[in-house]
Amino acid sequence: MVISLFSPSLGGAEQQALMLSKCLHERGLSVSVLTRKMKGLPSFEIIRGVPVYRSIRTLPWGKWFGITYILSVFWFLYRQRNSYDIIHCHILQGFHSAVAMLFKLFFKKKVIIKVAASGPLSAFKMLKNVLFGKFLLKKIKYADRIIAVCSQSKQEALQEGFPPSSVIQIPNGVDTRLFIPAPYNKANTGKIIFVGRLDFMKGVHVLLKAFRKLKEEGLQAHLDIFGDGPERDKLIRMAGDLSVNDSVSFCGEVKEVVRCLQESTIFVLPSLSEGLSNVILEAMSCGLSVVATRAGGTTDIIKDGVNGLLVDPENSDQLFDAMKKLLNNHDLAEKLGAEARRTAESRFSINTTVDAYVTLYHELCDENSAQESR
């Protein structure tokens, strides 16, 4: 596994990489992680049974960051070239994807590249905006498999000219044994929660506008906002300007998100752009009623009116109506939450995701064996 940041980073891609690596190790596969060297963290450690090498060393000066990143990845993969069969790159637009393609060309390694983002922040769009990005995108088309986490990112890959045979859809997974519904508590019926990075594309500003309308109608509700990011101070000021700061708590980053979800009843994801959100799966697995925007992979997960409610991005009126409906109809909220839990268990359990990857890894190894025997 190659990824720029890894545990203890709390990002969605990092958490998925950690969970997948752990589960693969538990299945008996030999898996290790290559990631960046970070201040205060050891160069090597074992996390949940998985060897983690923080051997990607970088210089923080413009183009030197990319150059040193590429050289570090290349040197590590070269030294370890006899100890692995597959290079699994998390996040397509990382420099490591380009290096992995060199090892496919010169050392016949199988390469998997995961596409985590779609829509306005599509990984393909982001890659095109970096130096030599368009050239790299052409080369990455020769990867053995491109993993799309949702139907939108799969369609984007096909539109970019990736061979249909190499693009497969494997969704993110959730640990349904950890994220479980809490006993029903009437004290939580007015608790709304958002969890995510506080940047513009997460749409928290839209959520605050919708929440003000709830308060103007006299509905009893409290909004907990978990996460941090560049928009935090701006959003805090906005809550004050909207006169809802007494009913909105900015709680910062949290490690035990399961407890925070279990203490709430409505989860809101007002994103303007999204891949396949981990936290929406976690909220569903906890049995929360979910309100989310029609962005990225969310429409793969939520069927409007069945296991959650969908609204258009940047539409505070629709968001207000959806939250109001759930606050005024506890039976509906419970029904949607129960169906959300069933969806998480049946379609998005981490075990289902791991099954798909194990099958894929064996396919690639079988292809290697067939090629070597010719």
Residues 259 and 137 in one domain: no
Check: CB of residue 84 under 8 Å from CB of residue 58: no
pLDDT one digit per residue (tens) for the chain, 374 residues: 999 999 998 788 999 999 999 999 999 999 999 999 999 999 999 999 999 999 999 999 988 998 999 999 999 999 999 999 999 999 888 789 999 999 999 999 999 999 988 888 888 888 888 767 888 888 899 999 999 999 999 999 999 999 999 999 999 999 999 999 988 665 567 999 999 999 999 999 999 999 999 999 999 999 999 999 999 999 999 999 999 999 999 999 988 899 999 999 999 999 998 889 999 999 999 999 999 999 989 999 999 999 999 999 999 999 999 999 999 999 999 999 999 999 999 999 999 999 999 999 999 999 877 776 66
Q: Could you tell me the two tokens for 348? A: 């998005």
Q: Quick check: bond before 42 cis, omega within 30?
A: no
Residues 284 and 367 in one domain: no
Please check whether residue 66 lies inside any domain of the structure.
Answer: yes
Residues 190 and 245 in one domain: yes
Residue linked to tokens 């040197």: 75
Instruction: Please report how many Cα atoms fall inside a 13 Å half-sphere around the Cα of residue 364, on the Cβ side.
Output: 23
Residues 152 and 205 in one domain: no
Residues 340 and 356 in one domain: no
Residues 20 and 128 in one domain: yes
Residues 307 and 367 in one domain: no
Residues 217 and 296 in one domain: yes
Please check whether residue 178 lies inside any domain of the structure.
Answer: no
Residues 86 and 210 in one domain: no
Check: CB of residue 93 under 8 Å from CB of residue 13: no
Q: Which CATH number does the domain housing residue 167 bear?
A: 3.40.50.2000
Please check whether residue 6 lies inside any domain of the structure.
Answer: no
Please check whether residue 139 lies inside any domain of the structure.
Answer: yes
Helix (H, G, I), strand (E, B) or coil at 19: helix
Q: Could you tell me the two tokens for 50? A: 């998985």
Number of domains in the chain: 2
Residues 164 and 280 in one domain: no
**Residue-range definition of the domain harbouring residue 84:** 12-173+350-373
**What is the 3-state secondary structure of 317-354?**
HHHHHHHHHHHHCHHHHHHHHHHHHHHHHHHCEHHHHH
Residues 327 and 368 in one domain: no
Handedness of CA 240, 293, 160, 6 (dihedral sign): positive
Please check whether residue 2 lies inside any domain of the structure.
Answer: no
Write the CB contacts of 269 (distance below 8 Å, at least 6 apart in sequence): 194, 196, 277, 279, 280, 290, 291, 292, 293, 298
